Amino acid sequence: MPMKIGDKPFKERVKDGVQQTFARRAVAAAQDGLRERKLNATERDEALGDWETWRRAGEEIRRHTLENLDYYLEQLSENFAARGGHVFFAETAEEAQQYIQSVIKKKNAKRIVKAKSMVTEEISLNEALEEIGCDVLESDLAEYILQLDDHDRPSHIVVPSLHKTKENIRDIFREKKGYSRSEKPEELAAFAREQLREAFLQADVGITGCNFAVADTGSIVLVTNEGNANMVATLPETFIAVMGMERLVPSWEELDVLVTLLCRSAVGQKITTYVTAITPEANNDGADGPKDFHLVIVDGGRSKALGTEFQPILHCIRCGACVNVCPVYRHIGGHAYGSIYQGPVGAVLSPILGGYEEYGELPYASSLCAACTEACPVRIPLHELLIKHRQRYVAGAGHPPAGEKLAMKAFAVGAASPPLFRLAEKLAPAVTAPLKDGDRIRKGPGPLKPWTDIRDFPAPAKDDFRKWFKAHKKEKEGGE
Amino acid sequence: MKVSLFITCLSEMFYPKVGRDVTEILERLGCDVVFPEGQVCCGQPAFNSGYRKEAAKAAKQMIRAFEEADYIVTPSGSCAAMFKEYPKLFADDEEWKVRAEAVAERTYEFTQFIVDVLGVEDVGAEFHAKAVYHTSCHMTRLLGEKEAPFKLLKNVKGLQLLPLKNAYDCCGFGGTFSVKMTAISEQMVDEKISHIEESGADVLIGADNGCLMNIGGRMSRLGKPIKVMHISEVLNHRH
């Protein structure tokens, strides 16, 4: 499966993630920094106005667009085609790969430059292009680092190499590219720039993702800081944009709102250095810029969420704000999710795109603290969607532990019958008495074991609150 | 003012003192506290684990037990938030949805009730300690109550409330998450404890016994000398 990272089972991936103390420190520091920057650019920025109003506007735009997705997709493709561009709808990753391979083969193209794109990660485009003998170069600095490091996988949807420190990067450059300067970010960036500049000029085909497509003009909008996407989209003769089928807006008016939400939520910037719009120009002879435009719109399982309770996850604008506040991501890191989509959005999206067999445990990797829901700039109720996944999982989509099912059934019987519930409460101190060590239980059996593996458990209290309450009321009445 | 106390299953079974403190404080503030005998668990453990039908059974029993109440008060932000969830649980059942809404509307977390309904910010408590307050996730984010505990604690004589680093981060409890994903939960609670220790506090105060059982249980296992108290215990302290 293209979006998959690693082959180990989830519990082992978690263990691996937790043990990487160096990467964890990098993740925690990045989270703290990004969270603070986001707050400064959103809730605390008085010039922006009320952040909640912005979020509601964003939510409304996304809901409207997704509710009318067929209409806007048609409008987008008509407008893109009317200007001479080619549009291809890919139902699967394979279809997308094959189409892009065929475009490249027809041109006898060899040298491909790419800008950062999650959807091309999702469809494993690099591997597919290397298969047909292409030389693919990632031009986003973070992606370039990952590519050099033997195709390491992204650990964050916005900051793909978040798990690497500057010392790691220096070593990768040294080993792979004969780099001899220091770990200073400026020197590292300057070196990468020299390497990349030449490649841009020689490339036959440029491939980018798509932050937003604008339906009423047929434009592809890229939101970046490094400027590499501009090079990718303008220097080679052929331009291919790949987009997830939900990543569009009706018009420039809505784009304005969403770009504002995206930049501020992702990295705490009022606006990124570059916001680039590419609109096909078929009669582009002699002028700068590409002459052949392709737009590949990927379903890849997204339509499975359409019209269901999971539709709101398609509202996601990939800002990563939920990842940046997630306490689980903080401790296990991106790779533990086993998917190119990590954190809360990954835990909701991955089971939809990749199935419960592969990703059924991810919705449980959340304490439901709702920090994600609070952070989301388009108000996706992420923690509620995690619960909805759990509902599907226990209702037959997954394999919940038999003991858990039984316990929940017993819970329901007890909860529907106050006398039974009361009896269980009354029996608890006696039943647990042999386990007690003072006022606590240090070694619990069965379901209590995972708790007492790391924590003490309080022994059930002998005092009976209901008895106390009755006596207290009687005393009060007597006294009055 | 008649107040129906929902003690929560966790407090009833493990921390009955919370029920006594809440009762005494509310009575001192002039409330007539009643205890509906039919109360069970709010159903959250089942609901959060994906067992919606099982949660609905608990919810129905709770609605039956509390629908006569004028005000429902509970010493847990998380359980109060679960009551607020009931109408969604019965989205397809008009009769129960209406009953659920009636219950949800009248539900308050304990400190929220004192501040917002009774309009009291000083309950006359006195407690000499250096403390941090743990802002539980469900209380702040699902119930949306961020202020009330601080308003009340600010007026406790002798109490020095210290800032807690990354206070907004979850402590790693998360109900069944704590036993299903112990390895992750452990990392979360350990980071929380390290921040509590860095603060220099002797006491950890919270408004949710789930979180306190988690943080307290881990501190007890690690031999940390920090005392754990539910906010009702602090607010009922008189010397």
Q: pLDDT per residue over B108-159, tens digit each? A: 999 999 999 999 999 999 999 999 999 999 999 999 999 999 999 999 999 9
> Chain A neighbours among B 110-149 (CB < 8 Å)?
137-138, 141-142
When CB atoms are compared, the residue of B15, B48, B60 closest to A368 is: B48
Residue-wise pLDDT for A249-302, tens only, equals: 999 999 999 999 999 999 999 999 999 999 998 766 667 788 899 999 999 999
In angstroms, the CA A129 to CA A205 distance is 11
Residue A447 is predicted with a pLDDT of: 82
CATH code reported for the domain at A47-304: 3.40.50.10420
Contact A428 B13 (CB under 8 A): yes
Q: Are residues B105 and B167 in the same domain?
A: no
Last residue of a domain, one of B116, B141, B166: B116
Q: Are residues B163 and B133 in the same domain?
A: yes
Residue A292: both structure tokens together:
């052949």
B167 interfacial to chain A (CB closer than 8 Å): no
When CB atoms are compared, the residue of B40, B43, B217 closest to A418 is: B40
CATH number at residue B186: 3.40.50.11810
Contact B53 A404 (CB under 8 A): no
Residue A286 is predicted with a pLDDT of: 61
Q: How many domains does chain B have?
A: 2
Percent of chain B residues topping a pLDDT of 70: 100
Q: Are residues B138 and B231 in the same domain?
A: yes
Chain A residues with CB-CB distance to B172 below 8 A: 327, 367
Last residue of a domain, one of B70, B92, B116: B116
B31: three-class secondary structure by DSSP: coil
Q: Are residues B47 and B107 in the same domain?
A: yes
> Chain B neighbours among A 1-40 (CB < 8 Å)?
11, 14-15, 18, 32
CA distance to partner chain B, nearest, from residue A203 (Å): 45
What pTM value is reported for the model? 0.95
Residue-wise pLDDT for A63-87, tens only, equals: 999 999 999 999 999 999 999 999 9
Among residues B103, B121, B104, B101, the alpha carbon closest in space to that of B112 is found at B121
By CB atoms closer than 10 A (0-12, 13-18, 19+), residue B158 is: exposed
B198 interfacial to chain A (CB closer than 8 Å): no
Give the list of residues 6+ apart from residue A221 with CB closer than 8 angstroms, or none. Answer: A210, A211, A212, A213, A214, A255, A259, A275, A276, A277, A278
Last residue of a domain, one of B68, B84, B116: B116
Residue A1 is predicted with a pLDDT of: 54
Q: Are residues B31 and B108 in the same domain?
A: yes
Q: Is residue B109 within 8 Å of residue B139, measured between CB atoms?
A: yes
Task: Tell me the residue range of the domain where B169 lies.
Answer: 121-235
ipTM of the complex: 0.96
Rg value, chain B, Cα: 17
- Give yes or no for residue A435 having a pLDDT over 80: yes
HSE toward the beta carbon, residue B141, CA cutoff 13 A: 23
In angstroms, the CA A153 to CA A386 distance is 24
Please state whether beta strands A205-208 and A212-214 pair in parallel, antiparallel, or not at all (unpaired): unpaired
Q: Are residues B93 and B159 in the same domain?
A: no
The angle at the Cα of A322, spanning A316 to A328, to the nearest 5 degrees, equals 135
Residue A470 is predicted with a pLDDT of: 95
Helices and strands (H and E) in chain B: how many = 13, 8
Q: Where are the domains of chain A?
A: 47-304, 402-479
Among residues A212, A224, A282, the alpha carbon closest in space to that of A252 is found at A212
The alpha carbon of A127 is separated from its chain's Cα centroid by a whole number of angstroms, namely 21
A404 interfacial to chain B (CB closer than 8 Å): yes
Give the list of residues 6+ apart from residue B202 with CB closer than 8 angstroms, or none. Answer: B129, B130, B131, B225, B226, B227
Residue-wise pLDDT for A24-61, tens only, equals: 988 999 999 999 999 999 999 999 999 999 999 999 99
Q: Are residues B56 and B154 in the same domain?
A: no
Give the mutation candidate from A455, A462, A467, A474 for the B interface (greatest B CB count, under 10 A): A455
Q: Are residues B78 and B18 in the same domain?
A: yes
A305: three-class secondary structure by DSSP: coil
Q: Are residues B54 and B136 in the same domain?
A: no
Strands (E), A39-169: 86-90, 111-114, 135-138
Q: Are residues B206 and B130 in the same domain?
A: yes
Chain B residues with CB-CB distance to A33 below 8 A: none
Residue A245 is predicted with a pLDDT of: 98
In angstroms, the CA B220 to CA A442 distance is 10
Partners of residue A12 on adjacent β-strands: none
The angle at the Cα of B156, spanning B152 to B162, to the nearest 5 degrees, equals 85
Give the mutation candidate from A329, A369, A405, A435 for the B interface (greatest B CB count, under 10 A): A369
Q: Are residues B7 and B70 in the same domain?
A: yes
In angstroms, the CA B183 to CA B119 distance is 43
Residue A283 is predicted with a pLDDT of: 67
Q: Is residue B226 within 8 Å of residue B204, measured between CB atoms?
A: yes
In angstroms, the CA A210 to CA A313 distance is 17
Residue A257: both structure tokens together:
């709102």
Residue-wise pLDDT for A226-251, tens only, equals: 888 988 998 899 999 999 999 999 99
- Give yes or no for residue A479 having a pLDDT over 70: no
A436 interfacial to chain B (CB closer than 8 Å): no
